[in-house]
Structure 1
Amino acid sequence: METKPVIAAEQVKEFVGNAHGDLNRVRELLDQEPGLLNAAWDWGGGDWETALGAAAHMGRRDIALFLLERGARIDLFAAAMLGKLEIVRALLADNPARKDALGPHGIPLLVHAQAGGEEASEVVNFLQQLG
Protein backbone atom coordinates (compact mmCIF):
# COMPACT_ATOMS: atom_id res chain seq x y z
CA MET A 1 0.00 0.00 0.00
CA GLU A 2 1.32 3.38 -1.03
CA THR A 3 2.01 5.89 1.74
CA LYS A 4 0.47 9.27 0.97
CA PRO A 5 1.39 12.57 2.54
CA VAL A 6 -0.79 13.74 5.42
CA ILE A 7 -3.03 16.68 4.59
CA ALA A 8 -2.58 19.59 6.98
CA ALA A 9 -5.32 19.76 9.60
CA GLU A 10 -5.98 23.43 8.88
CA GLN A 11 -6.63 22.60 5.20
CA VAL A 12 -9.18 19.98 6.20
CA LYS A 13 -10.87 22.35 8.65
CA GLU A 14 -11.05 25.13 6.03
CA PHE A 15 -12.41 22.77 3.37
CA VAL A 16 -15.12 21.31 5.58
CA GLY A 17 -15.95 24.71 7.03
CA ASN A 18 -16.39 26.27 3.60
CA ALA A 19 -18.53 23.37 2.43
CA HIS A 20 -21.25 24.77 4.68
CA GLY A 21 -21.83 27.50 2.13
CA ASP A 22 -19.03 28.65 -0.20
CA LEU A 23 -18.94 26.62 -3.42
CA ASN A 24 -16.25 28.77 -5.03
CA ARG A 25 -13.85 28.29 -2.12
CA VAL A 26 -14.60 24.56 -2.02
CA ARG A 27 -13.66 24.37 -5.72
CA GLU A 28 -10.44 26.30 -5.14
CA LEU A 29 -9.38 24.18 -2.19
CA LEU A 30 -10.19 20.90 -3.93
CA ASP A 31 -8.25 22.00 -7.01
CA GLN A 32 -5.27 22.75 -4.75
CA GLU A 33 -5.53 19.47 -2.82
CA PRO A 34 -7.69 16.71 -4.37
CA GLY A 35 -7.15 14.56 -1.27
CA LEU A 36 -9.55 16.79 0.64
CA LEU A 37 -12.54 15.26 -1.15
CA ASN A 38 -13.36 12.69 1.55
CA ALA A 39 -11.34 14.21 4.40
CA ALA A 40 -13.15 14.57 7.71
CA TRP A 41 -12.78 17.15 10.45
CA ASP A 42 -13.37 16.36 14.13
CA TRP A 43 -15.17 19.33 15.67
CA GLY A 44 -14.64 17.70 19.05
CA GLY A 45 -16.08 14.81 20.96
CA GLY A 46 -16.12 12.59 17.90
CA ASP A 47 -18.28 15.00 15.87
CA TRP A 48 -16.69 14.05 12.54
CA GLU A 49 -17.80 15.87 9.41
CA THR A 50 -16.85 15.71 5.73
CA ALA A 51 -17.47 18.46 3.21
CA LEU A 52 -20.38 16.43 1.84
CA GLY A 53 -21.79 16.12 5.35
CA ALA A 54 -21.52 19.89 5.80
CA ALA A 55 -23.29 20.59 2.52
CA ALA A 56 -25.98 18.03 3.37
CA HIS A 57 -27.18 19.51 6.64
CA MET A 58 -27.03 23.04 5.22
CA GLY A 59 -29.16 22.09 2.23
CA ARG A 60 -26.39 23.12 -0.17
CA ARG A 61 -27.39 20.94 -3.10
CA ASP A 62 -24.94 22.75 -5.38
CA ILE A 63 -21.96 21.94 -3.18
CA ALA A 64 -23.12 18.37 -2.57
CA LEU A 65 -23.56 17.68 -6.29
CA PHE A 66 -20.17 19.21 -7.08
CA LEU A 67 -18.50 16.97 -4.49
CA LEU A 68 -20.31 13.88 -5.75
CA GLU A 69 -19.32 14.69 -9.33
CA ARG A 70 -15.73 14.81 -8.15
CA GLY A 71 -16.07 11.37 -6.51
CA ALA A 72 -17.16 11.99 -2.91
CA ARG A 73 -18.66 8.98 -1.14
CA ILE A 74 -22.39 9.48 -0.69
CA ASP A 75 -23.92 8.69 2.68
CA LEU A 76 -27.44 8.38 4.07
CA PHE A 77 -27.62 12.02 5.14
CA ALA A 78 -26.54 13.44 1.78
CA ALA A 79 -28.89 11.05 -0.01
CA ALA A 80 -31.77 12.30 2.16
CA MET A 81 -30.99 15.97 1.49
CA LEU A 82 -30.65 15.35 -2.24
CA GLY A 83 -34.01 13.56 -2.38
CA LYS A 84 -32.52 10.20 -3.40
CA LEU A 85 -35.45 8.20 -2.07
CA GLU A 86 -34.34 4.82 -3.41
CA ILE A 87 -30.97 5.08 -1.67
CA VAL A 88 -32.62 6.12 1.60
CA ARG A 89 -35.17 3.28 1.31
CA ALA A 90 -32.44 0.72 0.61
CA LEU A 91 -30.26 1.79 3.52
CA LEU A 92 -33.20 1.82 5.92
CA ALA A 93 -34.46 -1.54 4.65
CA ASP A 94 -31.02 -2.94 5.44
CA ASN A 95 -31.04 -1.42 8.93
CA PRO A 96 -34.32 0.24 10.04
CA ALA A 97 -32.65 1.73 13.14
CA ARG A 98 -30.78 4.12 10.84
CA LYS A 99 -33.93 6.25 10.66
CA ASP A 100 -32.90 7.57 14.08
CA ALA A 101 -29.25 8.06 13.11
CA LEU A 102 -27.63 11.39 13.83
CA GLY A 103 -25.32 13.09 11.37
CA PRO A 104 -22.68 15.73 11.98
CA HIS A 105 -23.39 17.99 14.96
CA GLY A 106 -26.07 15.53 16.10
CA ILE A 107 -28.46 16.62 13.35
CA PRO A 108 -31.20 14.02 12.71
CA LEU A 109 -31.81 12.38 9.35
CA LEU A 110 -35.21 14.04 8.95
CA VAL A 111 -33.67 17.50 9.36
CA HIS A 112 -31.20 16.68 6.57
CA ALA A 113 -34.11 15.73 4.32
CA GLN A 114 -36.00 18.90 5.23
CA ALA A 115 -32.91 20.96 4.34
CA GLY A 116 -33.24 19.59 0.81
CA GLY A 117 -36.42 21.55 0.19
CA GLU A 118 -38.86 20.56 -2.53
CA GLU A 119 -36.38 18.16 -4.20
CA ALA A 120 -36.35 16.08 -1.01
CA SER A 121 -40.05 16.23 -0.17
CA GLU A 122 -40.61 12.53 -0.99
CA VAL A 123 -37.82 11.60 1.43
CA VAL A 124 -39.35 13.84 4.11
CA ASN A 125 -42.74 12.16 3.63
CA PHE A 126 -41.17 8.70 3.71
CA LEU A 127 -39.28 9.41 6.93
CA GLN A 128 -42.33 10.97 8.58
CA GLN A 129 -44.38 7.86 7.72
CA LEU A 130 -41.79 5.73 9.50
CA GLY A 131 -42.46 7.72 12.65
Structure 2
Amino acid sequence: MSYAASAYAKTSRSVMTPREAESAVLIKAAQRLQMLRDDWANRTGDLGPALNFNQKVWTILASAVVEEGNPLPADVKQGFTRLAAFVFRHMIETLAEPAPEKLDALISINNHVAAGLAGR
Protein backbone atom coordinates (compact mmCIF):
# COMPACT_ATOMS: atom_id res chain seq x y z
CA MET A 1 0.00 0.00 0.00
CA SER A 2 1.35 3.42 -0.89
CA TYR A 3 2.16 5.93 1.80
CA ALA A 4 -0.72 8.21 0.75
CA ALA A 5 -3.24 5.37 0.79
CA SER A 6 -1.97 4.22 4.17
CA ALA A 7 -2.23 7.75 5.60
CA TYR A 8 -5.77 8.12 4.21
CA ALA A 9 -6.85 4.77 5.68
CA LYS A 10 -5.44 5.74 9.07
CA THR A 11 -7.12 9.16 9.00
CA SER A 12 -10.48 7.80 7.87
CA ARG A 13 -10.53 5.49 10.89
CA SER A 14 -9.76 8.34 13.29
CA VAL A 15 -12.36 10.84 12.04
CA MET A 16 -15.41 11.06 14.27
CA THR A 17 -18.98 11.15 13.14
CA PRO A 18 -21.04 14.10 14.40
CA ARG A 19 -22.71 11.84 16.97
CA GLU A 20 -19.33 10.60 18.20
CA ALA A 21 -18.09 14.19 18.48
CA GLU A 22 -21.19 15.21 20.44
CA SER A 23 -20.73 12.21 22.72
CA ALA A 24 -17.04 13.03 23.25
CA VAL A 25 -17.70 16.66 24.16
CA LEU A 26 -20.45 15.66 26.62
CA ILE A 27 -18.03 13.21 28.23
CA LYS A 28 -15.40 15.95 28.45
CA ALA A 29 -17.90 18.25 30.16
CA ALA A 30 -18.90 15.46 32.55
CA GLN A 31 -15.25 14.74 33.36
CA ARG A 32 -14.58 18.39 34.16
CA LEU A 33 -17.58 18.45 36.48
CA GLN A 34 -16.56 15.12 38.06
CA MET A 35 -13.00 16.34 38.76
CA LEU A 36 -14.48 19.40 40.43
CA ARG A 37 -16.91 17.23 42.41
CA ASP A 38 -14.12 14.88 43.53
CA ASP A 39 -11.89 17.69 44.82
CA TRP A 40 -14.50 20.28 45.75
CA ALA A 41 -12.56 21.79 48.65
CA ASN A 42 -9.59 22.66 46.46
CA ARG A 43 -11.33 23.42 43.16
CA THR A 44 -14.39 25.55 43.91
CA GLY A 45 -12.83 28.28 41.78
CA ASP A 46 -13.30 25.98 38.78
CA LEU A 47 -17.09 25.92 39.17
CA GLY A 48 -17.80 28.88 36.87
CA PRO A 49 -15.55 27.72 34.03
CA ALA A 50 -16.78 24.11 34.25
CA LEU A 51 -20.43 25.15 34.18
CA ASN A 52 -19.72 27.64 31.40
CA PHE A 53 -18.22 24.87 29.27
CA ASN A 54 -21.20 22.64 30.02
CA GLN A 55 -23.57 25.48 29.10
CA LYS A 56 -21.82 25.96 25.74
CA VAL A 57 -22.07 22.26 24.99
CA TRP A 58 -25.77 22.15 25.82
CA THR A 59 -26.48 25.34 23.88
CA ILE A 60 -24.95 23.80 20.76
CA LEU A 61 -26.80 20.51 21.22
CA ALA A 62 -30.16 22.17 21.93
CA SER A 63 -29.74 24.48 18.95
CA ALA A 64 -29.02 21.54 16.66
CA VAL A 65 -32.09 19.66 17.87
CA VAL A 66 -34.51 22.49 17.10
CA GLU A 67 -32.87 23.40 13.80
CA GLU A 68 -35.25 23.32 10.86
CA GLY A 69 -34.64 20.17 8.87
CA ASN A 70 -33.50 18.13 11.85
CA PRO A 71 -34.85 14.64 11.10
CA LEU A 72 -35.56 13.67 14.71
CA PRO A 73 -39.20 12.93 15.55
CA ALA A 74 -41.10 15.79 17.17
CA ASP A 75 -41.47 13.96 20.49
CA VAL A 76 -37.72 13.35 20.70
CA LYS A 77 -37.02 17.01 19.94
CA GLN A 78 -39.49 18.08 22.61
CA GLY A 79 -38.02 15.70 25.18
CA PHE A 80 -34.49 16.86 24.47
CA THR A 81 -35.55 20.50 24.66
CA ARG A 82 -37.10 19.86 28.08
CA LEU A 83 -33.95 18.09 29.23
CA ALA A 84 -31.83 21.01 28.04
CA ALA A 85 -34.08 23.44 29.92
CA PHE A 86 -33.61 21.35 33.08
CA VAL A 87 -29.82 21.36 32.58
CA PHE A 88 -29.73 25.15 32.11
CA ARG A 89 -31.94 25.71 35.17
CA HIS A 90 -29.87 23.32 37.28
CA MET A 91 -26.63 25.04 36.28
CA ILE A 92 -28.03 28.43 37.36
CA GLU A 93 -29.18 26.96 40.67
CA THR A 94 -25.74 25.43 41.19
CA LEU A 95 -24.03 28.76 40.55
CA ALA A 96 -26.46 30.54 42.88
CA GLU A 97 -25.98 28.08 45.73
CA PRO A 98 -22.87 25.99 45.06
CA ALA A 99 -22.69 22.48 46.51
CA PRO A 100 -20.76 19.48 45.21
CA GLU A 101 -23.78 17.16 45.23
CA LYS A 102 -25.57 19.48 42.80
CA LEU A 103 -23.07 18.42 40.14
CA ASP A 104 -24.24 14.79 40.30
CA ALA A 105 -27.34 15.37 38.14
CA LEU A 106 -25.36 17.22 35.46
CA ILE A 107 -22.64 14.57 35.40
CA SER A 108 -25.20 11.78 35.14
CA ILE A 109 -27.21 13.48 32.39
CA ASN A 110 -24.09 14.22 30.35
CA ASN A 111 -22.87 10.64 30.66
CA HIS A 112 -26.25 9.13 29.80
CA VAL A 113 -26.83 11.35 26.77
CA ALA A 114 -23.24 10.67 25.62
CA ALA A 115 -23.84 6.93 25.94
CA GLY A 116 -27.04 7.23 23.92
CA LEU A 117 -25.26 9.16 21.20
CA ALA A 118 -22.53 6.54 21.13
CA GLY A 119 -25.10 3.76 20.83
CA ARG A 120 -24.44 2.27 24.28
State whether TM-score is above 0.5: no
Structure having the larger proportion of residues in strand: 1
TM-score by length of 1: 0.29
RCO higher in structure (CA 8 A, sep ≥6): 2
Q: More helix by proportion, 1 or 2?
A: 2
Bigger Rg, structure 1 or 2: 2
